[in-house]
Amino acid sequence: CAILIIAGGTGEFEAGISKDGQTREHALLAFTLGVRQLIVAVNKMDTTKWSEDRFNEIIKETSAFIKKVGYNPKAVAFVPISGWHGDNMLEESTKMPWYKGWTKETKGGVVKGKTLLDAIDAIEPPVRPSDKPLRLPLQDVYKIGGIGTVPVGRVETGIIKAGMVVTFAPSNVTTEVKSVEMHHEQLEQGNPGDNVGFNVKNVSVKDIRRGNVASDSKNDPAKEAASFTAQVIVLNHPGQIGAGYAPVLDCHTAHIACKFAELKEKIDRRTGKSLEDNPKFVKSGDAAIVKLIPSKPMCVGK
């Protein structure tokens, strides 16, 4: 879930949803990254003198633009808040008697609440893919006295537990997991969504690094990708982008320059429908399917 914080002040909201505004960009980015649940918190209501008209105006404008991005406004909780004064954050505010609370439609029916905390509590938890092969991108690798090498990262899919033989790609290092910890407590196993540290045998901190991906050596281990196909959305770029362009790509915890080898097709960024085959270039606002070639060894998957 994403929480879109909107400044309610005169001029601030308008700047945020303008063509190049950050509010618009953040909503598009969240949808593009697959975030399908959204909460809109209209902040700085104190600067609007707790105005119902201003809140309704912002809801109307915001609903229109998030609908264009791909969200259903009826499934979004709109909450008027003041972060500075704490109104409607944890407890219901007395300064907006006109506000009767938010409602949103979900698969399970209509959900209602008053505060931002209520809206957060109403988020539907995602399905945790623990049945898939292990994928754990490393955020960092530590050397801890008396323990040894401890890689840390979040389990994206699958599980990790002591005794498992893991492979780090693309470094191509294989070793046994001695123990798994989260928040300084030993775990029987790490599940998807868990930020874990795990102790490994006979591996130096120089052998593995941030951006490597740990996987189960016996169950579809992660491999280096010579090239890969990606959906790319151009949010804001001064000119046209064609084959040969090489931006730095942040994929899981890897940070590597990748070359646009081939523009396969231009697509509708909301529906994914093909609009044009083999376009010569793409520009701001376009979405495309592109073949990318990493400049250094890189591990990437669906």
Contacts of residue 76, Cβ cutoff 8 Å, sequence gap at least 6? 38, 39, 40, 63, 66, 104
pLDDT at 98: 96
DSSP class of residue 69?
A: H
Tens of pLDDT, residue by residue over 236-256, are 788 899 999 999 999 999 999
Q: How confident is the model at residue 290 (pLDDT cuts 50, 70, 90)?
A: very high
**Which domains does the chain carry?**
2-121 (3.40.50.300), 136-216 (2.40.30.10), 228-294 (2.40.30.10)
pTM for this prediction: 0.78
Q: How confident is the model at residue 234 (pLDDT cuts 50, 70, 90)?
A: confident
pLDDT at 161: 95
Instruction: Please list the helix, strand and coil fractions of the chain in percent, rounded to the nearest 5, in that order.
Output: 15, 40, 45
What is the pLDDT of the chain when averaged over all its residues? 92
Residue 153 has pLDDT above 80, yes or no: yes
pLDDT at 278: 93
